[in-house]
Chains A and B, each alone.
Chain A
């Protein structure tokens, strides 16, 4: 029965905080659908370094085969000895492929990949917590991590070995391999996703023939995430890989890549859990725009289309991304998009949520953006004036009001005549009219 005492209950109910605290960091086994065969006990093999060089290869293979034995880590008392032997062997194998040259002979490749596949490729189990909220809840950790970590480590060292030959490995590290690797990105365990990220990046770098396939599959994962399940734990990691992939795209960009930007990356902004991967996503978008500035207009229009309507937290993220884009925007592109963009910004500064208003007003602290605004002041000032004017009088938050005064001052200095005209059309409110005469003070 529950360990919560009656005194901690309110009217028979447990406080939510108590329930949350009761949950411990759980770990979870892999969903291996096996035919319930108990693992055979392992017996230690001699050390590789002690074996004569003629027998090393054979021993290496034996050790790889030994490591194909899988153990149940949810049961922490069974097979302790064998688990320890396998751990030590894996350690030795990691060491062996990272320090020795000439160990990756052709017959070793199938053995190596077989060991890796057997260990890491598994169906991820259902989440212990069906309403898992990646922002709130502790992830469930992989119980078999003591072994799986070493296998990942081994895979990485294998790929990074100077003798590694993609031309041989591609027979084993093929599309099916990559597909299974990508499925693992849904793991709740952040340690696993981190390894996967590095590994997939290496594979992308070394296997030219798999590149298009990898991109397409990531594409599919994202589309499924956006339009079907809204659930995938590895979005941030995949975006991180993509960030560096985009960086390497040749110019002019292929239609496929542009389509990816417009039909996948931009709609990704609609996801509920955007906060978890927004930084990586914005990085990818900016990478694209740096490659090809003509994409700026459609990208910004896309963001405006998906602009958050009720979630202030997301709105702040969107504003952050817009600033990142404006940081690299070309003045000609800016002209194309300034009107719809500043209409949105003008809505943001009047947002009753002060963080949204504040984030929008911070644009005026950015020198480059200021120069763009100044250049186009005749277009932007009329859009912004009404909102700024109103908010200078109405916003509940004194910080926002102070910021607005500063912005009004800056805008006034950019084009005094236009400012006066706009103020005159608002003469019913003499306060700003006075301020516009250059006696603006922040004492308000």
Chain B
């Protein structure tokens, strides 16, 4: 197959359209990997141009022969071939794709091999039952008995796709091959087989699940390598789902019990991680008798990794317990373990627990929550690890539903106030986001008394994200409590910051005005806010001045036309002739009334950031 030949052929036909194809074909052989890669990625174009006949007789053999290449090229090839059925002439000829994919399924590099297997699985569906037996299944057999482990691992992924569509003799052979691979002496192959065990079980007839799969499962679950054993746990979920309830106890449970107490923490971790799936697969009776004690042990495991994985499942496990004695099981068996985990030595364990523990309140109801869970929440809210605190705060709403906000706020308020000043800004942020809900439920008086100061203090936080969130929070509060409340409590404080020596605080005033003006209405905006904004147009820091321009644009629609003409316009015109380029730009934008997103800066304003830097320096010097 030569590019030159193709272009000659094209020339003879007087057709130049094949010329690019000729180039692509030549580039399949190019020394430069990138060019080969580009060409491989356009393989379907090449095949389309060559036609199905030449693709089968020339392109595919050529590709099969040049399989020794960079892994990157091979990966692209493996992927392309999965979508090649139509290009070789449809399902009738799809088996032509098998030889190159077979070679690709034996290479060392895992990603290439996996991709080849993926493509093989895909095209297996396009084989007719006859072709599957004549072409595909022999390939699987060859791979399964290959010398090097790579081909055998690849074979593991192919059994389940051909099994349902072949005759019973071939089925028997396939089962035999799978059995052999499950006891392969290379652990890599056993791992591959174990990871496909569940999938294979699903396509087998129930009698063979019981006779074949169970013995393989038992063997893999007691493999000498923990990496194999833990994969058997995964398979356990699928297998248990397939079996009738009455067989579970004898066929699956001994192995599962053993896995839950495996000497390797990796296996126990896997059990913990798959616990909800296992619970669903084995059903309520076995859950009550076996899984509850197993779960307790996992929650008390000696390795933090295992405890954390189990802690993550606490809510789901409790939710899925049979309803008739759910509460009793939780209260007597699970809750004591949970209590211990609250003071675990490992922060990952505590934080995993904190992310789900709140969910228990809906399951246990109001009284139990107040009596048993609330102390735990409080303890976790005071945890030294910020992630634990954060996880609790971000889930407060589900407790709220159960016990009501007043109860919640009375018990939690001190902790919340403390967290509002937490050293980690993400914790502070979580608290702020929770504030409107809290305020709405607590009412104005309670809010003014306990929380107002906090909300104002956040406006001068040293982290921008907090100041921004605080601004947004004020807006939501005004929406709740009304303009009059705003005028009395927050507007004076916000406007007072306009005289702050720190330009960041002065800008916060502007940001607040942007956010509040609409909720406060025309009168407050015109009478109280506008004079302050206008005065700030004389600020010595350019960043403040161009934010004045932006604010004026923002509050413009709320003002009446008289104020706009007599007060706003002259100021904007003055700013439009400012010495600073950015101030000029935003002032002009405001005058022309064009709306633009706040984050967008004029193209020439790279100095803008430099300017901020200079301002900060000035401030430091002034201090």
Contacts and interface: CB of A to CB of B under 8 A. Distances in A.
Interface of A: 1, 11-12, 31-34, 123, 125-126, 176, 179, 216, 220, 223-224, 227-228, 263, 267, 305
A185 B187 CA distance: 17
Nearest to B346: A128
B264 interface: yes
Nearest to B306: A126
A123 B266 CA distance: 9
A267 B108 contact: yes
A33 B263 contact: yes
B422 to A, nearest CB: 10
B108 A228 contact: no
B479 interface: no
B425 A220 contact: no
A179 B423 contact: no
A63 B188 CA distance: 41
Contacts of B265: 31, 33, 123, 125-126
Contact of B303 (A126, A179, A220, A224): A126
B463 A220 contact: no
Interface in B366-425: 384, 423-425
B186 interface: yes
Interface in B137-194: 148-149, 185-188, 191
12 contacts: A11-B462, A12-B423, A33-B261, A123-B226, A126-B305, A223-B149, A223-B188, A224-B187, A227-B110, A263-B148, A267-B108, A305-B70
Given A31-B302, A32-B302, A227-B109, 5 more contacts: A33-B261, A33-B265, A33-B302, A179-B224, A228-B110
B187 A12 contact: no
Contacts of B425: 12
Contacts of B149: 223
B188 A227 contact: yes
A179 B227 CA distance: 14
A228 B190 CA distance: 13
A12 B305 contact: no
Nearest to A123: B264
A12 B305 CA distance: 30
A176 B186 CA distance: 15
Contacts of A126: 265, 303-305
A33 to B, nearest CB: 5
B463 A12 contact: yes
Nearest to A305: B70
A11 B148 contact: no
Given A33-B302, A126-B303, A227-B108, A12 B462 contact: yes
Contacts of A228: 110, 188, 191
B142 to A, nearest CB: 19
A224 B188 contact: yes
Contacts of A33: 261-265, 268, 302
Interface in B213-268: 224, 226-227, 261-265, 268
Nearest to B148: A263
Nearest to B186: A220
Nearest to B428: A12
A343 to B, nearest CB: 9
A141 to B, nearest CB: 18
A146 B89 CA distance: 71
Nearest to A223: B188
B188 A263 contact: no
Nearest to B384: A1
Interface string B102-116: 000000111000000
Contacts of B304: 126
Given A11-B463, A12-B423, A228-B110, A220 B302 contact: no
B423 A263 contact: no
B381 to A, nearest CB: 15
A125 B306 CA distance: 11
B462 A123 contact: no
A176 B223 CA distance: 12
B112 to A, nearest CB: 11
Given A12-B463, A126-B265, A176-B224, A220 B188 contact: yes
A176 B384 CA distance: 45
B463 to A, nearest CB: 6
Scoring B185, B262, B263, B304 by chain A CB atoms within 10 A of each residue's CB, the highest score goes to B263
B192 to A, nearest CB: 10
Nearest to B185: A216
Contacts of B462: 11-12
Contacts of B226: 123
A309 to B, nearest CB: 9
A267 B112 CA distance: 15
Given A11-B463, A31-B265, A267-B108, A125 B224 contact: no
A33 B191 CA distance: 24
Contacts of A224: 187-188, 227
A11 B109 CA distance: 45
Contacts of B191: 228
A220 B187 contact: yes
Interface string B299-312: 00011110000000
A305 B423 CA distance: 51
Interface string B600-613: 00000000000000
Contacts of B263: 33, 123
A220 B110 CA distance: 15
Nearest to B301: A33
Interface in B459-485: 462-463
A123 B265 CA distance: 8
Scoring A33, A176, A179, A220 by chain B CB atoms within 10 A of each residue's CB, the highest score goes to A33
Which 4 pairs, one residue from A and one from B, show the smallest C-beta to C-beta distance? Answer: A126-B305, A123-B264, A33-B263, A227-B110
B202 to A, nearest CB: 25
